[in-house]
A and B are shown apart, each in its own frame.
Chain A
Amino acid sequence: MSKPRSAWWPSALAFVASVAGLVFAALSTWDYAQHLDRQIHDVHCSFIPGMPAEKAAENACKVAMYSPYAAILRDRYWGGVPIALFAVGAFAFFTAFSAYALLGGWQRPRRAAQFLAAISLTPVAASAVMAFLSATRLGHFCKTCVGIYASSALLAGAAIAMVLVEGREIRLALAATRTDAPRTGPSGVPATIVDLALDETPPPRAPGGWLLVPTWLTVLALCAATPVLVYASAMPSYASHVNACGKLESPKETTGALLRVTPAGATQPATLFVDPLCPTCKALHQRLVAEGMYDGLDTTLVLFPLDNECNWMLDRAVHPGSCMVSKAVICADSKARSVLEWAYDNQEKLLGLAKGGDLPGARAMVKARFPEVDACIDAKETNQRLIRMLRFIVKNHLPVSTPQIYLGETRLCDEDTDMGLPYAMGKLAPGLVAAK
């Protein structure tokens, strides 16, 4: 009996897919771990593994990394435990398993391919969920994440192909056994040991013992858990960092200039300094909303337009048009949140118009959406209220930068406004996180 050959390409494809998935997951984890120092770093964002990190401040991978969907246990660990870490362990297992499948050839038990095909649907399912969230919640597809999705799909495809090819091979082998196998000798005499030894028909692939599957599952679980446990155990303590960014010196404002945004059930006092045309303010607002925290904040809203049209602290406009939009927010008063969120949603267009010198165009956009505030924008009282907000900022000696958020009177550090947000909120406003 000759040694039969099995189709090698599905195993090889599974191996390649696993290696690619491992590289993408490792890069994603590396980017995440880099940020544990609370500083700003470049992020890898390419379909080609190993390409240098991108300097773009807000690339899609950074958006994904800062999103609530990038990690778990985010209120327990600063930044949480990145989902990609599970992928690192899982793809390490799949790499080893597909190498085994590739080298095992015909002697590999049938259960190996069946197991790989079944279990490889797990990363596919996880990828499908993450892709759905990327499309519907983030509006961006991070290239590194897409690399993981593609690797998962390729792995599953290869594993399924492995099962199908094996099935075909087994069927062919069985058919050959039925038609060609020398059950009797050439003269009708029953086959001897020698005849059977000369038989070239391959025997059917062995199914493998039932214990294999739970064993492989256990190993997979161990592989997936190991990097996670190492990561969590190696993390530093952030307790002393999150409340080290100062306090509001003079939280009381006596002229009633500041706006209040108090959703029903909001309990945590917060003071938020924002510029409606500042992209970072928009990102923070979206994160607070996505984390389910915004509605728990009894917010004192202070508009801080970085626009020298009304703000004397600047010699040029960082966000031209933001004085006008800030006045619109002030005019909306009890509906300030609606105008602010609209401004965030239309930020690029408003900024584009104002930067191009078409401030009347930006004003027309505001008027078209909120005609009731149009006359109020030009009122002297509105300007005075905005000036009083800016005076409040001067009185508190705040940095000329947005956004700034104070929980009670304690400032949430800028470093904690993205990945570390749930953790820092948990420390500074435990009730808010517990009530989520």
Chain B
Amino acid sequence: MKGAGVVGVVIGCALLAASAIAVQGQVADASERLKKGPDPNAAKPAIAVADDAELAYCTPAFKQVLQRTLNACGLIGQDARRGCQPADVKTLAAISDEDFNALFTPLKDRGAVIQFDDGSDKLDDDGKKIIEELWQDRRGARYFFIVARASKTGGADLNRALSHKRANSVLFDLTDKFHDPDLDKQVGLLWLGNEFAQLGPEYCQWNISRKGKPCTAEAINRSAFVSWVDCQL
């Protein structure tokens, strides 16, 4: 009987000691791993960080123009100026008129050409409607571009000023309508007057604000092209 009791005590002590040692060891090992952190060599799934959209048309050439424009036209950095005028764009883009326009070709369905009356910077209702719809269809885009032009009618200075006003008309419409405090950080303005990157009549096939009305080479340039740009920079 005594022998059985001794055996029981020995087994109990041994199991208890083994359990305690094992538990202590497991916790200590976990503490050590906690201190070291996850194995840096272990394959770890990379988790992307939420960012703006980056669509296929965001070619290096497109993004270069975009970056230069954003830097020089007041959207990025602390520059007090806002927008770029024809001379700036010519210098910044450092590409031909045709190449400049070609960059925007992928935005044919994403954007719209807002048309104005001759010599006017006043938006009509159709124009406002399209601008507002486009603004709300932001999706993952980071920047909204307004590229305003003027027709060949009249002098360069007059048209430069007119295209500037047209760009501002679109901007003010967005400001009045949406009161978005971040709007200044999103909208890029370019006004090209009649000196740079004039649109050809083929742009009448794009999403224009005056559908069903005569669209000539002159009419298509009395306009502001507006679009969200789905590119990361």
Residues in chain A within 8 A of chain B (CB atoms): 22, 26, 29-30, 33-39, 85, 88-89, 92-93, 95-97, 99-105, 107-108, 219, 223, 226-227, 230-231, 234-236, 238, 241, 254-255, 312-313, 380, 384, 387, 390-391, 393-394, 396-401
- A–B Cβ pairs within 8 angstroms, 10 of them: A92-B12, A107-B1, A107-B4, A235-B27, A236-B30, A236-B35, A312-B53, A313-B140, A390-B140, A394-B51
Residues of chain B at interface, number, CB under 8 A? 41
Q: Chain A residues near B31 (CB, 8 Å)?
A: 36-37, 234-236
Q: How far is the CB of B186 from chain A (nearest CB, A)?
A: 10
B153 contacts the other chain (CB 8 A): no
| Contact pattern, B 19-59, Cβ under 8 Å of A = 1, otherwise 0 | 11011101111110111001000000001111111000000
Q: How far is the CB of B78 from chain A (nearest CB, A)?
A: 20
- Contacting pair B139 A400 (CB below 8 A): no
Q: Chain A residues near B35 (CB, 8 Å)?
A: 236
B7 contacts the other chain (CB 8 A): yes
Q: How far is the CA of A393 from the CA of B139 in the complex (A)?
A: 13
Residues in chain B within 8 A of chain A (CB atoms): 1, 3-5, 7-9, 11-13, 15-16, 19-20, 22-24, 26-31, 33-35, 38, 47-53, 136, 138-140, 180-181, 230
Q: Chain A residues near B30 (CB, 8 Å)?
A: 33-37, 236
Of chain B, the residue at the smallest CB distance from A401 is B47
Q: How far is the CA of A371 from the CA of B160 in the complex (A)?
A: 55
Given contacts A35-B30, A234-B28, contact A394 B20 (CB under 8 A): no
Q: Chain A residues near B11 (CB, 8 Å)?
A: 95-96, 99-100
Question: What 14 new A-B contacts, CB under 8 Å, besides A39-B33, A236-B35, A312-B139?
Answer: A22-B15, A29-B23, A29-B26, A88-B19, A89-B16, A93-B12, A95-B15, A103-B8, A236-B30, A255-B180, A312-B230, A387-B138, A397-B51, A398-B49
- Contacting pair B48 A92 (CB below 8 A): no
Q: Chain A residues near B4 (CB, 8 Å)?
A: 99-105, 107-108
- Contacting pair B33 A103 (CB below 8 A): no
Among B48, B140, B181, B230, which residue has its beta carbon within 8 angstroms of that of A399? B48
Q: How far is the CB of A121 from chain B (nearest CB, A)?
A: 20
Main secondary structure, interface of A, reads: helix
Among A88, A223, A312, A396, which residue has its beta carbon within 8 angstroms of that of B140? A312
Given contacts A234-B31, A236-B35, contact A97 B12 (CB under 8 A): yes
Q: Chain A residues near B48 (CB, 8 Å)?
A: 313, 399-400
Q: How far is the CA of A305 from the CA of B103 in the complex (A)?
A: 32
Of chain B, the residue at the smallest CB distance from A234 is B27
- Contacting pair A99 B24 (CB below 8 A): no
Q: How far is the CA of A101 from the CA of B8 in the complex (A)?
A: 8
Q: How far is the CB of A283 from chain B (nearest CB, A)?
A: 18
Among A103, A391, A397, which residue has its beta carbon within 8 angstroms of that of B7? A103
- Contacting pair A96 B15 (CB below 8 A): yes
- Contacting pair B230 A96 (CB below 8 A): no
Given contacts A103-B8, A108-B4, A313-B51, contact A37 B33 (CB under 8 A): yes
Given contacts A36-B34, A100-B4, A104-B1, contact A397 B23 (CB under 8 A): no
Of chain B, the residue at the smallest CB distance from A30 is B26
Q: Chain B residues near A102 (CB, 8 Å)?
A: 4
- Contacting pair A103 B3 (CB below 8 A): yes
- Contacting pair A227 B19 (CB below 8 A): yes
